[in-house]
Structure 1
Amino acid sequence: MKYEIVAVGGTFDHFHKGHEKLLNKAFEIGNYIMVGVTSNEFGGRKGNIEPCSKRMSELEQFLHRFDSRYTLKRLEEPYGPTIDDPQIDAIVVSRETEPVANKINEIRQKKGIKPLKIFVIGWVLAEDGKPISSTRIRNGEIDRNGKVLG
């Protein structure tokens, strides 16, 4: 079954294989994808992340293959349009952000909006068997493809 509008969001810092898996799943299940990218101010709470303009540019390079089936938006808070837009049908999240999707559904239900179908994707593992993450890439442990460095 294809969902009409699917949401996916994140910091997308040091764009990597895990981000690709998340986005590919969204395009696999959805006709149109709303991609939210945390702003510098909001995303900066995670630490020393790349500027939002760089993160959005790297996302665009990946997303262009999906023609015009998406919108790329800057997020200033955790939920973006997902808590107000009844046209969004589903959301794709990682294991670590699944609690956010559950909170979004709680808020939607309180507002009388149907809950989103939640799709949780597993981690993409680096060659050392540990999850690929932006933090590990920032720390110089691995590259964006999961290759162990040093």
Structure 2
Amino acid sequence: MKVMVGGTFDPLHDGHKKLIDRSFDIAGEKGCVIIGLSGDEFAHRKSHPIRPFEERKKDLLDFLYSKNYPAKWSIEGLEDRFGSTLNADFDAIVVSEETFPTAVEINKLRKEKKMKKVDIHQITCVLAEDGRWISSTRIWKGEIDSHGSLIGSSGED
């Protein structure tokens, strides 16, 4: 099965890792996962600083190699929220609760183009210690680390 997943992945946190793991689970051993990584210009729409594409790609590659997934995979740059999903032949897209509406829109636009609908697999967001979502914004603000542990919660400066 050919699966697509995308994101800015900065910093790469446990929620992103769950998203990527699920993509490989769905693809299966003989499948393929296309990972869209936001390009620098597109990524700067975020409300927090974003490291350059090549630095984010290195972290993503380090994670992928550490997992030794059996499926094939590739990384492509994303210059908008759709990437190649409106032109590529693939079977499924994996999204978070936050990005589910984009996947629905992708299927709508694919239908208008007379392309086959793709399966949407939504993961639940990974929760931090405080029960709120792990997010890059919260990490950049210094509220939590990439695993969702609270920072500075001991009352000390």
Scaled to the shorter chain, the TM-score interval is over 0.9
**1: distance between equivalents of 2:70 and 2:142?**
33
Indicate the residue corresponding to 1:55 in structure 2.
56
Indicate the residue corresponding to 2:76 in structure 1.
73
Q: Deviations over 1:10-65 (max 9, x none)?
A: 11110000000000000001110000000110010113112111111111011122
Unpaired segments of 5 or more residues in structure 2? 153-157
**1: distance between equivalents of 2:44 and 2:118?**
27
Indicate the residue corresponding to 1:37 in structure 2.
37
Aligned pair in 2 of structure 1 residues 68, 121: CA closer, same or farther (>3 Å)? Answer: closer
Indicate the residue corresponding to 2:155 in structure 1.
none
Indicate the residue corresponding to 1:129 in structure 2.
131
Kindly tell me the number of residue pairs found equivalent between the two proteins: 146
2:114 partner letter: G
Q: TM-score, normalization: structure 1? A: 0.94
Secondary structure in structure 2 of the residue aligned to 1:21: helix
Secondary structure in structure 2 of the residue aligned to 1:83: coil
Q: Deviations over 1:75-95 (max 9, x none)?
A: 11111111111x210000001
Q: Which structure is higher in strand share?
A: 1
**2: distance between equivalents of 1:11 and 1:55?**
8
Q: TM-score, normalization: structure 2? A: 0.90
1:57 partner letter: K
Q: Deviations over 1:87-115 (max 9, x none)?
A: 21000000110011011101100111111
Indicate the residue corresponding to 1:19 in structure 2.
16
**2: distance between equivalents of 1:33 and 1:77?**
19
**2: distance between equivalents of 1:51 and 1:67?**
28
* Larger Rg computed on CA atoms: 2
| Structure 1 runs, 4 residues or longer, greater than 4 Å off | none
Secondary structure in structure 2 of the residue aligned to 1:104: helix
Indicate the residue corresponding to 1:104 in structure 2.
106
Unpaired segments of 5 or more residues in structure 1? none
Per the TM alignment, residue 67 of structure 1 is displaced from its structure 2 partner at its CA by 5.3
**2: distance between equivalents of 1:97 and 1:12?**
13
Q: Which moved more, 1:68-77 or 1:108-117?
A: 68-77
Indicate the residue corresponding to 1:149 in structure 2.
151
